[in-house]
Amino acid sequence: MSVTEMFSYIQGFLSADQDVREDIRKVVQVLEQTAREILTVLQSVHQPTGFKDIPSKCLKARELFSTVQTQIGELKTKFPVEQYYRFHEHWRFVLQRLTFLAAFVVYLESESLVTREEVAKILGTEVDREKGFHLDIEDYLAGILIMASELSRLAVNSVTAGDYGRPLRISNFINELDSGFRLLNLKNDPLRKRYDGLKYDVKKIEEVVYDLSIRGLAKEPEAGGDK
């Protein structure tokens, strides 16, 4: 094979590669748009009025997740499944956001940590790498960490809205997450960087809980139940 032939072969490979990337980028853009829509829906729980109809907001978000499912289904068709990690960078960010949103919805509904299987179900992906388009574990963990900072915000805003019980529950939850993350041996990578931010979320929520408890506000729900 001559040098020219070799290079034209490689050129063909590269341009095919670029086409695939272009296709992926298009789908990912749409996916990002949907993710933003879901975020907008969920953001309103921070409003004082939003606290009352969290269930309906979750329902609305879940509806939008079905759009996500079809869009991810489309993304799956854009590249050979065994080359997931070759193009991983393209959807890494949006998948982390979507994990966060799914985790947030599940937390608002049941105040528990979403499992990977649940996320996979909500997003319409596979759990195992062998089975197809899946959610990378690091992306899952990154999504959970985004949720942690969102919850610290929620703790502050729920106090403003007069819900004094929620910060305590959030505090418990975040502490669990923190001790969970402490089990992991993270390398010096983006995930580690994000995990380093978790302690500020923990601190923030502890401050909120402290403020409530020195004012005797934290006990209010029980006191209310007492009457």
Partner 1 sequence: MSKREGNGSGRKRKTDSVQKTDDSLSQTSQVIAAFRVFQQELDTKHDKYERLVKLSRDITIESKRTIFLLHRVTSVPNVEEVLNEADTKLDSVRQKIGQVAEELRGEDLHQFHKAFTSGVQEYVEAVSFHHFIRHRTLISLEEINARLVFVKEEKMETKVTGEGSFPGACVLTFQVTPTDYLLGVADLTGELMRMCISSVGNGDMDTPFELSSFLRDIHDGFSYIGNMGPYEVSKKLHTLRQSLGKVEDACYMLRVRGSEIPKHMLADVLSSRTALLDHDEGVA
Tell whether residue 49 is a contact of partner 1 (CB under 8 A).
Answer: no
Pick from 207, 163, 149, 144: nearest CA to 50:
163
CA distance linking residue 39 with residue 27, whole number of Å: 18
Does 142 bind partner 1 (CB under 8 A)? Our answer is no
Residue 93, H or E segment: helix 88-110
- Closest approach, Cβ 172 to partner 1, in A, equals 5
One of 29, 70, 77, 112 touching partner 1 (CB under 8 A): 112
Burial (CB < 10 A; 0-12, 13-18, 19+), residue 117, is exposed
Nearest distance in Å: CB 145, partner 1: 12
Provide the minimum distance between the beta carbon of 49 and partner 1 in the complex, in angstroms, as a whole number: 28
Local structure of residue 134 (DSSP, 8 states): B
- Using CB under 8 A, pick the residue from 49, 85, 128, 214 that binds partner 1: 85
Counting Cα atoms < 13 Å in the Cβ hemisphere of 61 gives 30
Choices 37-45, 64-72, 137-145, 202-210 (CB under 8 A): range interacting with partner 1: 137-145
Of 95, 154, 148, nearest in space to 124 by CA: 95
Binding mask 171-210 for partner 1 (x = CB under 8 A): -x---xx-xxx-xxxxx-----------------------
> Shortest approach of partner 1 to residue 54 CB, angstroms?
20
Q: Residue 9: which H helix or E strand, with range?
A: helix 3-43
Q: Which amino acid is at 205?
A: I
Please state, in angstroms and rounded to a whole number, the distance separating the CA atoms of residues 194 and 114: 19
Name the minimum Å distance from CB 66 to partner 1.
26
Asked if 110 is part of the footprint of partner 1 (rule: CB under 8 A), the reply reads no
Report the amino acid identity of residue 35. Answer: A
Evaluate whether 114 touches 146 at the Cβ level (below 8 Å). Answer: no
Contact region for partner 1 (CB under 8 A) — 31-39, 68-76, 134-142, 203-211? 134-142
Chain positions contacting partner 1, by CB under 8 A: 1-4, 6-11, 13-15, 18, 82-86, 88, 112-113, 115, 129-130, 137-138, 141, 172, 176-177, 179-181, 183-187, 216, 219, 222-223, 226
